[in-house]
């Protein structure tokens, strides 16, 4: 059943993921030190397809003996990997400054770390809307469902339609995080 369990990449199948970083010790002595680090992160997009999880198939199947047969099922209108989210690239820069001193007989170290994540403020969508509307019933075993064009309001004779925002982000959490500044302070004693 190609419409129920099609071949293709799963939503968690991410082809490539890479992390590269470099650290440069700018200076250091017994009292203080400074290092700079650069990190490159790259994730390829993940697949998704046009699917509904409430396809009514019970009317088209003879119950093979289930006490309580399922009344709904998953139906893929496209390949499970027909679409992909954006590739996400992030460049980050941080400094790590350490200052050491004695408070009486106790050695104390103060750590300061300013950091910029997504330095070049790159944009990408990693969680798009995947809403699909079922318009009219069809026999999944004999019929090929017809897609109503996205945005069309007169969908008579069609079986399904992608939601108005299909493939688009809906909330700020659906985007790659923007350029972010962080500052950390730590103490060791």
pLDDT at position 2: 75
pLDDT at position 110: 96
CA-wise closest residue to 126 among 11, 7, 9, 6? 11
- pLDDT digits 0-9 by tens, 17-39: 999 999 999 999 989 999 999 99
pLDDT at position 62: 79
pLDDT at position 40: 97
- Dist. CA 8–CA 35, nearest whole Å: 45
Residues of the chain with pLDDT under 50: none
Predicted TM-score (pTM) of the model is 0.76
């Amino acid at each position: 059943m190609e419409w129920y369990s099609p071949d293709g990449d799963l939503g968690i199948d991410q082809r490539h993921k890479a992390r590269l970083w470099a650290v440069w010790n700018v200076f250091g002595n017994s009292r203080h030190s400074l290092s700079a680090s650069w990190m490159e992160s790259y994730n390829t997009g993940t697949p998704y397809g046009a699917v509904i999880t409430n396809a009514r198939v019970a009317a088209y199947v003879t119950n093979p003996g289930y006490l309580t047969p399922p009344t709904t099922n998953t139906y893929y209108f496209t390949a499970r990997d027909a679409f992909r989210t954006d590739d996400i690239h992030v460049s980050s820069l941080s400094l790590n400054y350490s200052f050491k001193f004695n408070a009486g007989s106790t050695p104390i170290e103060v750590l300061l770390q300013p950091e910029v994540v997504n330095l070049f403020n790159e944009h990408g969508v990693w969680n798009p809307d995947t809403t699909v509307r079922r318009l009219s019933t069809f026999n999944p075993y004999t019929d090929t469902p017809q897609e109503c064009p996205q945005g069309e309001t007169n969908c008579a004779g069609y079986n399904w339609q992608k939601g108005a925002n299909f493939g688009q982000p809906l909330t700020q959490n659906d985007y790659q995080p923007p350029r972010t500044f962080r500052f950390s302070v730590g103490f060791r004693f």
